[in-house]
Amino acid sequence: MYQYDSYDQAMVDTRVEEFRDQTRRRLEGKLTEAQFTPMRLKNGLYLQLHAYMLRVAVPYGTLNSRQMHALADIADKYDRGYGHFTTRQNIQYNWIKLEEAPDLLADLAKVEMHAIQTSGNCIRNISSDHFAGAAADELVDPRPYAELLRQWSSFHPEFNALPRKFKIAVIASDTDRAAMRLHDIGIQIVKNDAGELGTAFYVGGGMGRTPMIAPCIRDFVPLDQLVSYSEACLRVYNRYGRRDNKYKARIKILVHELGAEEYTRQVEEEFAHLLDQGIEPPIAELERIRTCFADPAFGDGARSVDRSDPDFALWVDRNTVRHKHDAYVSAVISLKPVGGIPGDASAAQMHLMAELAKEYSFDELRVMHTQNIVLPHVKIADLHALWTRLDADGLGAPNLDTIEDIIACPGLDYCSLANARSIPVAQKISERFAANGKTEALGELKLKISGCINACGHHHAGHIGILGVDRKGIENYQLLLGGSEAEDCSLGKITGPGFSEDGIVDAVETAADVYLRERAKGERFLDTYRRIGIEPFKEALYG
Amino acid sequence: MAEIIRFRDDEPVDHPAVTVDSFLDQSNANAVRVEPGDDARELIPHIGQLQLVEVNFPAFGDGRGYSSARILREAGYDGELRAVGDVLVDHVAYMRRCGFDAFEPDAALNPDDLQTALDRWPEIYQSAADARQPIWSKRHGAA
Ligand code: SF4
């Protein structure tokens, strides 16, 4: 993985000092809250319902064990012993004191981490495929490109006050595990007919109150023009993105209002101009970064497991994923125990995951946007030992991509923007399906819950989505069906009138039952929905 | 009138700037004021006659002026480029990088805080409208 040199270290150290100074001026009353807000936001510090929340960047979701140990220590020292992994592959702490935030950032900087640009109207932490460097189907490891863009976008002087936040994802396989087309910019590493690597740019996707799937605006940008092209996309947005209405300020609205063709024309014009400005790092810089991501020393070993323990066999089937090396798999540690809070991990669990990464996965971990943790490179021969230790500490839930593997935003339990609670709904649904035993039969079923229209829980992109709304002061939940964030990207449709908190749990089960009744052989929930449409579901729900 | 902080030695223009529209109409002025919605590129054919471009920041959260500044510098404008309006000390370093060399903030900046902010960043990650050498260039030995 990437290692800081003295320059990178100087940048994060400087940021800590800057924030210490800004915090001091705020506490001394020299800065108003209005002036301080964008500064703290650029350091990932939000004021929530009960306390400050700090969001720490995990660039493209990659961590080593030392960093995971440090995150656990921070949970103990500054929070209440927990961390919350998010849909942006980051980690959040919910109980932070402003006076202590600079010290927390200093602790992060010691392990090459930071909270730079994890919120605010700027280019956010860049996300990527959580199986990068391990996936059997990838063209190359996408992370060096994400790292190049991380550096380019950090403290970018021109894009200091964008109309709105800006999210970039980079992937390198046709299977999209990063919801690439639901980002402001989605970049896919591709090969052209001449066999050269380059990047396809998808611009103007997003969720929120107006979800949109990004159109491809260019199918090949050469690697030595990646920064210039990104800069052109951003400059057009910075100049012409709407600033009159916060809800229309994302780039998706600009691309939609101009039309993809006109937006592309303006980007191409700006790009042609920027190519002469000498802003592109040399390809040697990309190569330098790439050497940090060289494959670990994979060795040969067993290619199958002893399946005599059915619990272990189930976990292997559900939670391990094919690796580019036959003697290895990527193993997913579910942070979705039945009845638990999706994405939460205790300090002790984080320490354990760090130890296991060191022992079994070449010292690497990944945060998934589905709020789980991956050990990317586990020897098949080591799986039983790994599972035994995970299971002993409540981390062995065998539910990857099942209805129990729910994405949920923090909702009304923490978030000041929420209409409704998300976490208790997730807890009740996973309890319901664990009890009725339907999880296994349902197979792949992605369920996502947001506590308000801002869609942090990606409800539009769930096979089943749930959206919390406020109806006359009472929490109410709408049901959506048919969304997907993958390469077959689609947006879910609302079934009809909303449900109460208990009603929505019943409604999910009703929809699941329609699938079980109607499915053809080999169909997932999403496939059946696409074939039969929404009507049979509506009938069962409201009929 | 607020104090003007300048990072250049020539004599400042001593008359008020005109709007972009009126400048384009009666093009003998040498000082113009760019609002966030103006297209700075319209000034490019006339940059030879300009000595002062003011870029207005009515609110610090509206960052269009950063692009306006860089566009003018990229086009070769070398007169005074002045950020006016809601200019806060924590944004001045970014503004310098985008090519601003004068500041006329609505609220006076504390000189110590300003110096601290300007000296803060020993390194930069990307090239912009200033002459500073980005980290990638230092890494690969370019002078
Ligand atoms: S979706 Fe709404 S409730 Fe949930 S975290 Fe985002 S803003 Fe808060």
pLDDT for B142: 60
SS3 A79: coil
Q: Do B64 and A121 touch (CB under 8 A)?
A: no
All structural domains of chain A with their residue ranges: 6-109, 142-291, 310-392, 407-542
CATH class of A6-109: alpha beta
Q: Do B125 and A152 touch (CB under 8 A)?
A: yes
Q: Do A161 and B63 touch (CB under 8 A)?
A: yes
Q: Is it the case that residue B3 has pLDDT exceeding 90? A: no
pTM score over 0.90: yes
CATH topology classification for B5-139 = Rossmann fold (3.40.50)
Assign domain A142-291 to its CATH architecture: 2-Layer Sandwich (3.30)
CA of A467 to the centre of ligand 1 (A): 10
- List phi, psi (to 5°) of B127: -85, 145
User: In whole angstroms, what is the distance from residue B125 CA to residue B129 CA?
Assistant: 13
CA of A266 to the centre of ligand 1 (A): 33
Q: Is it the case that residue A48 has pLDDT exceeding 90? A: no
CA of A92 to the centre of ligand 1 (A): 14
Place of tokens 């990650």: B125
Q: Tell me which residue of A285, A179, A153 sits closest to A224, measured CA to CA.
A: A285
Helix axes A226-240, A260-274, angle to 10 degrees: 120
- Assess contact for B28 and B56: CB atoms under 8 A: no
Q: Do A281 and B123 touch (CB under 8 A)?
A: no
| Angstroms from B14 CA to nearest CA on chain A | 29
Of A235, A273, A284, the CB nearest to B140: A284
User: In whole angstroms, what is the distance from residue B86 CA to residue B56 CA?
Assistant: 8
Q: Do A279 and B127 touch (CB under 8 A)?
A: yes
CB-ligand 1 contact for A454 (6 Å cutoff): yes
Q: Is it the case that residue A393 has pLDDT exceeding 60? A: yes
The 10s digit of each residue's pLDDT in B68-89 is 999 999 999 999 999 999 999 9
User: In whole angstroms, what is the distance from residue B115 CA to residue B117 CA?
Assistant: 5
Q: Which atom of ligand 1 is nearest to the CA of A450?
A: 1
Which whole-number Å values give the CA distances from A157 to A153, A168, B46, B92, in the listed order? 9, 18, 26, 10
| Angstroms from B16 CA to nearest CA on chain A | 26
The mean predicted confidence, pLDDT, of chain A is: 96
| Angstroms from A247 CA to nearest CA on chain B | 15
Q: Do A155 and B121 touch (CB under 8 A)?
A: yes
User: In whole angstroms, what is the distance from residue B24 CA to residue B28 CA?
Assistant: 9
CA of A460 to the centre of ligand 1 (A): 13
Of A8, A156, A288, the CB nearest to B126: A156
Q: Model confidence at A506, in pLDDT bands (50, 70, 90)?
A: very high
Domains A6-109 and A142-291 share a fold: no
Question: Please, what's the b/e burial string for B106-124 (b: 16 or more CB within 10 A of its CB; e: otherwise)?
Answer: eeebeeebbeebeeebebb
Residues of B with Cβ-Cβ distance to A18 under 8 angstroms: 120
Of A35, A121, A151, the CB nearest to B88: A35
The 10s digit of each residue's pLDDT in A73-100 is 999 999 999 999 999 899 999 999 999 9
pLDDT for A143: 98
Q: Do A279 and B91 touch (CB under 8 A)?
A: no
CB-ligand 1 contact for A90 (6 Å cutoff): no
What is this model's ipTM? 0.97
pLDDT for A41: 87
pLDDT for A177: 96
For A294-393, list the strands marked E by DSSP. Answer: 320-322, 328-333, 344-346, 364-367, 373-379
SS3 A348: helix
Residues of A with Cβ-Cβ distance to B114 under 8 angstroms: none
The 10s digit of each residue's pLDDT in B82-115 is 999 999 998 999 999 999 999 999 999 999 989 9
All structural domains of chain B with their residue ranges: 5-139
The 10s digit of each residue's pLDDT in A234-278 is 999 999 999 999 999 999 999 999 999 999 999 999 999 999 999
The 10s digit of each residue's pLDDT in A299-341 is 999 999 999 999 999 999 999 999 999 999 999 999 999 999 9
Chain A residue set in contact with B, beta carbons under 8 Å? 5, 7-8, 10-11, 14, 17-18, 21-22, 25, 30, 35, 38-39, 121, 151-152, 154-162, 227, 235, 238-239, 243, 273, 277-279, 281-282, 284-285, 288
Report how far Cα A379 is from the mean position of its chain's Cα atoms: 26
What residues contact B96, with CB distance under 8 A and at least 6 apart? B7, B118, B130
Q: Is it the case that residue A192 has pLDDT exceeding 70? A: yes
What percent of chain A has pLDDT above 70? 100
The total number of residues shown for chain B amounts to 143
Query: Scanning every residue of chain A, which has its alpha carbon at the shortest distance from the alpha carbon of B70?
Result: A158
Q: Is it the case that residue B131 has pLDDT exceeding 80? A: yes
CA of A160 to the centre of ligand 1 (A): 24
Residues of B with Cβ-Cβ distance to A122 under 8 angstroms: none
Report how far Cα A85 is from the mean position of its chain's Cα atoms: 9
User: In whole angstroms, what is the distance from residue A292 CA to residue A2 CA?
Assistant: 5
CA of A369 to the centre of ligand 1 (A): 15
Q: Tell me which residue of A478, A480, A503 sits closest to A428, measured CA to CA.
A: A503
Q: Is it the case that residue B1 has pLDDT exceeding 80? A: no
Q: Is it the case that residue A14 has pLDDT exceeding 60? A: yes
Q: Tell me which residue of A103, A112, A101 sits closest to A55, measured CA to CA.
A: A101
| Angstroms from A141 CA to nearest CA on chain B | 21
Of A155, A162, A281, the CB nearest to B136: A281
Residue A294: Cβ within 10 Å count = 10
- Per DSSP, A60 falls in state G
The 10s digit of each residue's pLDDT in A442-467 is 999 999 999 999 999 999 999 999 99
CATH class of A407-542: alpha beta
Candidate from A15-24, A43-52, A183-192 with smallest mean pLDDT: A43-52
CA of A275 to the centre of ligand 1 (A): 39
Q: Is it the case that residue B143 has pLDDT exceeding 70? A: no
